[in-house]
Chain A
Amino acid sequence: MPDPVTLAVLQNRLSAITAEMGEAMLRTSYSQILNSSRDFSIALVDARARLIAQADHIPVHVGALPWAVRALLEAFPEPEEGAVYLLNDPYHGGSHLPDLTIFIPVFAESRAILFSVVRPHQSDIGGATHGAYNAAASEIWQEGLRIPPIRLTESGRLREDLLAMLAANVRHPRDFRGDLAAMIGAARIGVARVEATLAEFGAATLTAAIEAILDAAERHAREIVGTWRDGTYLGEAVLDDDGHGRTDIRIRARVTKRGSDVVVDLTDSDPQSLGFVNSSHANMQSAVTMAFAFLLDPELPRNEGAFRPLTVKAKPGTIVWAEPPAPVTLCTSHCANEIIEAVITALAPACPERAMAGWSRRFRIALDGTDPRTGRRFIWHLFQARPGGGASSAGDGWPAAGEWHSAGGLKFGSIEITEVRFPLFFERHEFRPGSGGAGRFRGGDGSTLSLLVETAGPSLANTAGDGTRHGARGILGGADGAPHEYRLVAPGQAPRPIATKETGIVVPPGSRLLVESGGGGGWGEPRERDGAGSGT
């Protein structure tokens, strides 16, 4: 084992490398979804598909990247030095189609020892609808282009023909090519920095340090888990529906905690669905890992060692692990959020001080219309009206901070900028008081929005999301948060509820979208709430 000082230097170095890759990605990516909402993940994964270091971007990818490396190694057991690999297929290690994953191996002593991995979310990946979310899809081919693990290079050079073929299958080929170049650039920076570290310290020292870093994280994680109450616990979370007529789809977690080990068994979850709420295998693994990570200490490095106490069991053909060719695009939101909620709800009695009540669910709207001021067509995505975060032993939930899978990571745009750019008028956009679940600590409030649509002629809306039937779960006696309530009021017509999985809603000019977004869940008995109501 390297001396403790070298170990400290290398631990710091590995996380600095992933942070630098993230910065490069942020600065060079072309599409808005990457450079503004930071919807991407960066990691170093070793040749045994173990997560070594990860930059903190989108939590829902925390446990997914190692599964992608595993799929890559199945397809390419002997990766080539200097080669660049790509995949997105959820049935080959991916989470959902819009998430492309780039891998470049780092070699030491003519052996691939690490992979520099970059995964951004693309704004479009082809398929039947713009923007990848297709509530009507009943097969994965309707969701977009599938890419099993492929090698993008030949003799170290990118294959232009292959890139052209990929770009020809998406709606924004320039964004696609630009982002792909940024991804490869970021991954190469990771490779160069690891190579410099290898040159400075040697492969033996680096690999020994990695083992020591993983072991240390495991020790720390086990120490934490060891303080939880032993037992077998049940947790359940319920999806509203699948958009194809099936309602109340249940995710069931049976969690056994013994000593410093946790077994999460999702086998009893409901069968898979016809619609895009199904989870891919990697996404299910990632959601469980994320739930576990939320219960540990935020300071604990998120690497394979920290997750060693965790074992995941699930059954193919269920909602959490769909079999092909089921569609899965919504899964990084739903049912990832329900998997997290089921696991944390189950473990709440084992570690009440660490468990947090439910964060809210995602409910997106995309509006496709024409701006009367310019005559130009526009597509607008609703990011405003964020729902509330869950409460915890530390205090009330964050208001308007979002869903489990983004946890305060999704920025909404300026209303002033939005009104300049789109024919929309925000009559009201503020907190929705009372929407957070009651409890000793209350769930964070959601938001209320009254949006006047001032388009030329009718526009069309699509939705994707969940949570109009079920609110964010309260725990330990706390109440659930209020569910979402979205309505459309067209001029001269009665208000019409908007469902979470609709396509082609006609929105006449002068309509109002009235959004009441859900609140977070409450924590603990409401009668134990002190007068001041603050968490500290």
Chain B
Amino acid sequence: MSGYAIGIDVGGTFTDIVLAAPDGRPGGNVITAKAPSTPADQTEGVLAGLQLVAVSLGLSLFEMLAATTRILHGTTVATNALIEGKTARVGLLTTEGHRDVIEMREGLKPDRYNLRMPAPAPLVPRDLRILVRERTRADGSIAVPLDRPSLAAALDRLAEARVEAVAVAFLHSWRNPAHEAEAAAAARARLPGAFVSASSEVLPEIKEFERFCTTVANASVGPIVRDYLARLERRLIASGFAGSLLVMLSHGGLAAVAEAGRLAAGTVLSGPAGGVAAGVALSRLGLGPALITFDMGGTSTDIALIQGGRPALAAPRGLGEARIALPSLDIATLGAGGGSIARLDPSGLLQVGPESAAADPGPACYALGGERPTVTDANLVLGLLDPDRFLGGSRRLDRTAAEQALARLAAPLALSVAETAGGIHRIVNARMSDGLRLATVRRGVDPRRFSLLAFGGAAGLHATAVAAALGIAAVAVPLDASVLSAWGMLNTDLRLELSRTRLDPSGIEADRLRADFAAMEEEGRKKLAWFSGEISFRRSADMRYGEQVFEIPVPLDGLDWNSCSLETDIAARFHDRHEALYTYALRDEPVLVVNARLSVIGELPALPPIRIPRGPASSPVAERRILLPAPLCVPVYDFASLRDGQEIAGPAFVESPSTTILLRPNDEAHLDGRGWLLLQPAAAISDRA
């Protein structure tokens, strides 16, 4: 490794920076910093954070950036735009007779028993969905040639409406993109400033609803993401940076700025993807092949599965009014976090979440005006949080405010304040373990085979209870738990995800499949032509039985592609996978390949491994009184002072400025010198503890 590598994760509250130095630097090789995020212009917070890191290196910002080879970036620009509805004004050009694909929503409406719920406004209103006379058939032949006057008239309408972006989405462009390509070219010529996105460029796959919606979402955040990345790149260059700026995508790989701008909708999971990338890296560093990442933040808890050292990609996901079918990590979100509010529901039963106090006003103990008790308030009253050391002492917690908020809930329940706090702690643990069980079952796996990788501000206080309730034997908390997403970005590779829909009615046609993969490999090499490192490929396919509706992803690595029995070998892969997922296979049924997928991976240099020195075990730095539920005096250890192999028995706390880990009575832990604390929950402890 020649220069510095810097990971930057812009979150809702903080912008986290992790700098990895080349080998041999005295005083460790990783420097971290947190700066407040600046939602109005995220580049402000980024530059402020970089400045902090430069200061701790004893360098100027210019000197540091000039010595930096690459910057890896997770951004929430697209996510925020979609959640807040502040998207670009988009016009849609679509096939005549099919104006309402995106608003028909395949006939589905969420929330089955809620019939008093207005339909949300689609990302493109009907009057900006403009019809073009054209039609391609399912076999790629042309039923209605592209009518140029109708295209010109449509573009006039969009010009008049002053759209900032144009989505072009025609039926069967997955099979024959010619009409879309012509319309997109015409749009670029007629509307020079607009961001133009054609569905066959964004997601060249069959299923018009997914493809059209993804394209519309891409157009609606495209100009915003493109402008933001250009601004950031400009500012970094002006501050001395001459390396490559890479952006974290939802699928967990990195992409160059131009590609991330083109596929802007592919950045919506940019931040959380860093956490999963960290899980993959830690898995490789020795944490084992089967992990559940457990990222408990203020409003929610994100969960992802890593199996065989790899994360899974998911089906389409919704965000705000957008629906995005680009390859994306399969991250499940539970509506429970540190800010989750405890309340009595209208029937008088105690509930915790899903409503959250978020950062503003935040939990009552933040003393920012929040009056309703949250999980964090309960944890404070139970003694699980140190009011003076929260977020490294940057936010003093007000215990009295927390008690007052809890007292308002305790009175109607006829419980004491402490009992109420203990109850909230227990309920949130139960909610998370029930939710986590469901999330794993939904993915066809048994949680007991996994270790839990806990990170995010609130995870350390709840992870062992959740693990115990699920029968999970090991919980790992990494040393850099509070900036783990940014650290993860430093530990992942460049990746392009390419696909082709391949619906051979006769089943699997090996020659056409070989040709598809060859074409995609060439496209991948071309797109990564700027990259000087090693490029590798991973093949997979979405497959199903002829009469089924859902495809399942089937890895195709390690096959002999020259084999005469390729068709049977591929079919066998599918049958095995189907059996593993659904308990049965129909080995006599015809099998269909729907999409061929290629991951193009540009390998980035690995970071030097973390080594925590051996040495005499460190002693507790303090002692705290907790109620869990009985009063206990608990020693507090400093996370950074623990030595390789040091063992700790619960009850105990292990704390860093941004993380508090609770070892319950009879829990055991030891520090692994490769950079994490490994906890073993006492088997006897259930969610009642």
Query: Which A residues fall within an 8 A CB radius of B?
Result: 3-5, 7-9, 11-13, 16, 19-20, 23-24, 27-28, 30, 32, 35-36, 56-57, 59, 178, 185, 200, 213, 216-217, 219-220, 223, 293-294, 297-300, 302, 354, 356, 359, 373-374, 383, 386, 389-390, 392-402, 407-417, 419-420, 425-431, 444, 447, 450, 534-536
Distance between B248 CB and nearest chain A CB, rounded to angstroms: 30
Q: CB distance B113 to A294 under 8 Å?
A: yes
A11, A12, A19, A407: the one within 8 Å of B109 (CB): A407
Find out whether the CB atom of A408 lies under 8 angstroms from the CB atom of B107.
Answer: yes
Contacts of A35 in B (CB 8 A): 548-550
In the complex, which range does the number of interface residues on chain B fall in? Answer: 35 or more
Chain A residues contacting B25 (CB-CB under 8 Å) are none
Instruction: Give me 16 other A-B pairs in contact (C-beta within 8 A), A401-B107, A408-B107, A415-B171 excluded.
Output: A3-B423, A8-B350, A11-B349, A24-B441, A28-B584, A59-B112, A223-B346, A392-B115, A392-B117, A400-B100, A413-B106, A428-B97, A430-B98, A447-B104, A535-B118, A536-B118
Cβ-defined contact, B434 with A4, below 8 A: no
Nearest to A408 among chain B residues (CB) is: B109
A-contact 0/1 string along B438-456, CB 8 Å cutoff: 1001101000000000000
Q: How far is the CB of A335 from chain B (nearest CB, A)?
A: 19
Q: Give the shortest distance, in Å, between B97 (CB) and chain A (any CB).
A: 4
Top 9 A-B pairs, shortest CB-CB distance: A408-B109, A395-B118, A5-B423, A220-B347, A428-B97, A216-B347, A298-B114, A16-B434, A419-B138
Given A407-B112, A420-B503: A400 and B427 interface contact (C-beta under 8 Å): no
Cβ–Cβ < 8 Å partners of A299 in chain B: 345-346
CA distance in complex: A429, B171 (Å): 12
Q: Answer yes or no: B517 CB below 8 A from chain A CBs.
A: no
Checking B119, B349, B352, B584 against A213 with a beta-carbon cut-off of 8 angstroms, the contacting residue is: B349
A16 and B437 within 8 A (CB): yes
Question: Which chain B residues border A27 with CB–CB below 8 Å?
Answer: 442, 444, 581-582
For residue A218, give the distance in angstroms from its CB to the closest CB of chain B.
8
Residues in chain A near residue B251, CB distance under 8 A: none
The answer to whether A417 and B206 touch (CB under 8 A), given A4-B413, A35-B548, A425-B137, is yes
Contacts of B548 in A (CB 8 A): 32, 35
- A421: shortest Cβ distance to chain B, in Å? 9
The answer on a CB contact under 8 Å between B582 and A9 is no
Q: Are A413 and B549 within 8 A (Cβ)?
A: yes
- Minimum CB–CB distance for B608 against chain A, Å: 43
For A28, what are the chain B residues with a Cβ–Cβ distance below 8 Å?
Answer: 582-584
Q: Name the distance in Å between A397's Cβ and chain B's nearest Cβ.
A: 8
Asked if B160 is at the interface (CB within 8 A of a chain A CB), the reply is: no
Q: What is the bound-complex CA distance between A395 and B109, given in angstroms?
A: 15
A200 to B109, CA, bound (A): 38
Task: Evaluate contact between B104 and A386: CB separation under 8 angstroms.
Answer: yes
Q: Are B346 and A4 in contact (CB under 8 A)?
A: no
Supposing A16-B437, A356-B115, A408-B107 touch, asked if A429 and B98 sit within 8 A by C-beta, the answer is yes
Q: Return the chain B residue nearest A11 by Cβ.
A: B349
Q: A408-B107, A416-B207 are in contact. Are A216 and B348 (CB under 8 A)?
A: yes
The reply to whether B430 and A389 form a contact with Cβ atoms under 8 Å apart is: no
CB contacts under 8 Å to A, within B378-426, are 413, 415, 419, 422-423, 426
Residues of B contacting A23 in the complex (Cβ-Cβ under 8 angstroms): 438, 441-442
What is the bound-complex CA distance between A57 and B113, given in angstroms? 10
Residues of A within 8 A of B581 (CB): 27
Across the two chains, which residue of chain B brings its CB closest to A36? B549
CA distance A254 to B426 in the complex (A): 47
Known: A4-B350, A420-B138. A411 touches B106 (CB 8 A): yes
Chain B residues 455-512 with CB under 8 Å of chain A are 503, 505
Given contacts A200-B686, A416-B172, whether A12 and B119 have CB atoms under 8 Å apart is no
Q: Does B143 contact A (CB under 8 A)?
A: yes
Q: Nearest residue in B to A444 (C-beta to C-beta)?
A: B119
Whether B208 contacts A431 by the Cβ 8 Å rule is no
List of A residues within 8 angstroms of B603 by Cβ: none
Q: Is the CB–CB distance between A16 and B350 below 8 Å?
A: no
